[in-house]
Chain A
Amino acid sequence: MPGNRELIHAYGVMDPSADVPDWPPGVVDAPVEVTAFDQVVAMTSALPADEFEPAAWERHADDASWLGSVAAGHHRVLQAAIAAGDVVPFRLPSLYGDHEALRRALSDHAGSIAEAMERVRGRVEWAVKLYRSDESGEPDTDSESARTGSDYLIGRSRQMQARAEADALVEDRVRSLYDRLRETSVAAVRNPPQDRLLSGRSEPMVLNAAFLVERTGLADCQARIDEVAQQARSFSLLTEASGPWPAYNFASLASADTVAGPA
C-alpha cells in the first residue's frame, strides 16, 4: 500500500529499568513506542515514509520551521525520558527502514552504545554560558584627539593592543570559572560560543559549556554554578545556566575534557 509505508525514527536508547508512565507526543505527534532489542531498549516512533524519507529531508532542507518542529519532537521525548532514567540520545536524523534495520544498526553499534550508556549512567547534562556585559559588540569609536594620520595610527594601535589585553584577561577569567565548574562535574566540554544572532543577546558569548553531572551531585553543582555566577558578575560577565539536558554532548566521546571522577 503506497502512501501508508512507514519508517522507524529512533530517539535513543534508555535504561531498561526506567519507566516513563506518560510519554509526550513524539515527532509529528506520533506516539512513542518502547521496544526491547537484543541488548538495549529503544524509544521509537513510526513515521510516514513519504514525509520522512531522504527525499523529504532534501525537500525540507531549507525549511527551518519543519526542521525545528522535528527537532523539538525528538528532544521532547528524550527530555521526558531523563526524568525517569538514563538515556543515550541519538543524533538527528536517525531513521531506519523498519524494526529489523534498526535492530541491525543497534547490533552493529552495540559496543559504542554500551560505552555511552555507562558514561551517562546516573548522570545528566547541565549547560552554562557566559556573556561579556562590558562589550556591546559595537566597533570602537575613534577619539577626536587624532589630529594627524600618524596620531590616528598610534591611537589605533594602542586601542587594538588594549583590546587584545582585555580579551586575554577575559579569557583567563572565563577559563578559571570553567575550571571551577568542571570540578563538580564528571566531564565537560567547551563548544564554540554561539553567534549573537543565535543567542539572541547583544552581549558576546564567551563560554558555551556543557557538563556531565552526577544526579546525586546536582546540589553541589548548583551551588557551584551560583558561586561562579557571583564571581562572574564581579568580572562583568553574565551567567546563563540551563538543564537538566539529556547527555547530548557526552553520548559520543568526541572532545570532552574528562575530569577524574571521585576516587
Chain B
Amino acid sequence: MTSPSRELQPEQGGGRPVGRPTDAYLSTHTQGQSLADVLERVLDKGIVIVGDIQVRLLDIELLTIKLRLLVASVDKAKEMGVNWWESDEFASAQNGDDGDRAELASRVKALEERVSDGAGSTGRKKSGSKTGRSSR
C-alpha cells in the first residue's frame, strides 16, 4: 500500500512548511490536520461538560477507521484536510486502492466484533426534575 509522502520538507504539501513567519501559524489556515487527528481530538479529548442530554459513543477507533475507509478512495483526502466532506469528489468517490479498502474493511469487522457487547448505549438523563430553579 502506498500513501503520499509527507515528510517534513518545505517544498511538500501536507506537513508544516518550514520557515514561515510565526503569525502564519495563528491564522485560520492550518497545516497537516488529518481526519484521524480531528476525530481523535473532538471525540476523545476536550473537556466533558455533562448536561441534561447524554450520548455515549461507540468505540472511537472503530469510527475513525470507518471514516478512513470511506475516504480511502479519495486521493486528495489529506490535502483537502478537514474540509474533505464538503467536496463533491467525496460524494462521487470512485474506488481507489482495493487492497487498502479490503484491509480496512476486515479491520472494521474485527473491531465491530470487539465492541459488539457494550456498544452504542445512549440515554437521556432526567432533566431538571429538581425544583427547576433557573439560575444560581
Contact = CB atoms under 8 A, between A and B. Distances in A.
Interface of A: 7, 10, 12, 38, 53-55, 57-58, 61-62, 64-65, 67-69, 71-72, 74-76, 79-80, 82-83, 88-97, 100-109, 112-113, 116, 124, 127, 191, 194-195, 197-202, 215, 218-219, 222, 225-226, 229, 233, 238-245, 248-249, 251-252
9 contacts: A10-B49, A61-B122, A64-B69, A109-B49, A191-B40, A197-B65, A240-B14, A241-B15, A242-B33
A229 B8 CA distance: 7
Q: Sort chain B's interface into a size bin.
A: 35 or more
Interface in B47-87: 47-55, 57-58, 61, 63-70, 78, 82-83, 85
Contacts of B54: 54
B51 A104 contact: yes
Contact of A95 (B37, B44, B55, B104): B55
Nearest to A137: B1
B33 A200 contact: no
Nearest to B52: A101
B25 A222 contact: yes
Nearest to A253: B47
Contacts of B33: 242-243, 245
Contact of A100 (B3, B40, B134): B134
B31 A241 contact: yes
Contact of A68 (B15, B22, B85): B85
**Chain A interface SS verdict (over half):** helix
B65 A240 contact: no
Interface of B: 1-3, 6-8, 14-16, 18-20, 22, 25-28, 30-55, 57-58, 61, 63-70, 78, 82-83, 85, 103-104, 107, 119-120, 122-124, 127-128, 134-136
Contacts of B120: 58, 61
B17 to A, nearest CB: 10
Given A200-B34, A229-B8, A113 B49 contact: yes
B53 A54 contact: yes
Contact of B22 (A75, A101, A222, A233): A222
B100 to A, nearest CB: 8
Nearest to B72: A200
A7 B127 CA distance: 13
Contacts of B123: 54
B111 to A, nearest CB: 10
Contact of A96 (B47, B51, B66): B51
